[in-house]
Amino acid sequence: MNRSADVVIIGGGIIGCATAYHLAKLGVKDIVVLEREYLASGSTGRCGAGVRQQWGLKMNILLAKESIKAFETLNEELDTGLDIEFKQEGYLMLAYTDHMVEQYKKNVALQKSMGIEVEFMGPEGAKEIVPYLNTEGLLAATFCPKDGHINPFVTTNSYAEAARRLGVQILTYTEVTGIEVEMGRVAAVNTSRGKISTDKVLNAAGGYSREVGEMAGVKLPTYPERHQILVTEPVAPVQGPMVISLYHGVYCQQTPHGSFIMGFGDPKEVKEHTISSTWHFMEEMAAKIYTLLPPLAQLRVVRQWAGSYNVSPDAQPILGETPVKGYYTAVGFSGHGFMLGPVTAKLMAELISGQEPHLDIAPLSLERFEKGELIQEPSVV
């Protein structure tokens, strides 16, 4: 296969497939998506799939608010017959220190000023929402009923099907082996199936964004970080919202099918390409859940897996064109790529097609690291 394309997208996760869909909607005719394995086989399909608007940074609230608005009507928009299974029953975020309480108060004030439906409450209010929550040591909580959980595989495949319907070619089990740059501009993408001549490439490669950047001579300050998750046996519906404690580093969500998805962030996790699981994770997860949500510690674990966060120095995405003309990035989401997928895809499609993005993404450019203008989410821990 030796051919040409107007745009080549590297990565078959939600951002790659959704950007292809939005590019096609904008009238771009010849779009190719390249995926080394199957769609959503990387970070997208291995995430916890929670979506929330409860952030302490204006940019994150803007992006999350628009993405959730898109998720709410995505079944109708894509019209593929697939159901993304949006369980929109909220996020309950727990505070255990005075610092967390004060920061959550500030976060809620900012969120409300931007039109987010969110409530600050005491332990009693949190227990009304999740009756078996252990409130020992809990000082406060915040709750947004519009947050929730979505099926990442169905969502990605629905975007892909809608993109194909608009003429996008999606090549799975196709590995990118190199990117040709001539006179400072992208010229071609070399793959295991042959060469694709193009002057526009989007790096949406998730955990492998750094390596794909190096192929074009672009140094991205991203790295992979393993994140482990487990899923339990299904039980009758007992928990509506996602429960998240950044103090314990834990999140726990019951899916529409009854199973619980649980994960936690381990600061000692390996920062390399590994998706192996450990007994240590399962044992520590059981202990943390017993502390927060005691009855759930009795559930049997059906499956345990791991995926890669694609982490940037300030844990914010890197969006925009790079010093190599025609080479764009949508990487570095640090575990939040799925929830920001719809708005990111729309913004990147606008940029790549020559339009002005409807939100200002300049603060998220690669240049910020050279200038030292990092964007930090306020710490709550």
Domain boundaries, the chain: 3-47+153-221+313-371, 86-146+223-311
> What was the pLDDT predicted at 308?
87
Cα dihedral 266, 268, 273, 279 sign: negative
Going edge to edge, which strands form the sheet with 176-182?
3-4, 194-197, 185-191, 176-182
Half-sphere exposure of residue 182: CA atoms within 13 angstroms, side-chain side: 7
Q: What are the residues facing 232 on neighbouring strands?
A: 301
> What was the pLDDT predicted at 312?
95
Selection from 131, 83, 127, 138 nearest residue 255 by Cα: 83
CA distance 68 to 52: 8
Residue-level length of the chain: 381
CA distance 136 to 186: 57
If you search the block for the tokens 């694709």, which residue do you land on?
A: 196
> What was the pLDDT predicted at 271?
76
CA distance 130 to 259: 16
Architecture of domain 86-146+223-311: 2-Layer Sandwich (3.30)
Q: Are strands 7-10 and 201-203 parallel, antiparallel or unpaired?
A: parallel
CB 249 within 8 A of CB 380: no
Three-state secondary structure call for residue 94:
strand
For residue 76, count other CB atoms closer than 10 A to its CB: 7
CB 290 within 8 A of CB 134: no
CA distance 218 to 226: 23
Tokens found for residue 214: 């190096």
CA distance 170 to 154: 16
Selection from 100, 88, 139 nearest residue 339 by Cα: 88
Question: Does domain 3-47+153-221+313-371 fall into CATH 3.50.50.60?
Answer: yes
Q: Are strands 242-245 and 91-95 parallel, antiparallel or unpaired?
A: parallel
Q: In sequence order, what are the residues at sequence separation of 6 or more whose Cβ sits closer than 8 angstroms to the Cβ of residue 377?
A: 55, 56, 57, 60, 315, 316
Q: Please give the model's pTM, rounded to 2 decimal places.
A: 0.96
**DSSP E strand boundaries for 257-365:** 260-264, 301-311, 318-321, 327-331
Residue type for 270, please? Answer: V
Q: Taking the mean position of all CA atoms in its chain, how far away is CA 252?
A: 17
Tokens found for residue 354: 């020559």
CB 157 within 8 A of CB 39: yes
Selection from 45, 9, 51 nearest residue 275 by Cα: 45
For the chain of 381 residues, list the mean pLDDT of each consecutive stretch of 10: 93 98 97 97 91 96 97 98 96 98 98 98 98 97 97 98 98 98 98 97 96 97 92 96 94 95 81 81 92 95 91 96 98 94 98 97 95 87 79
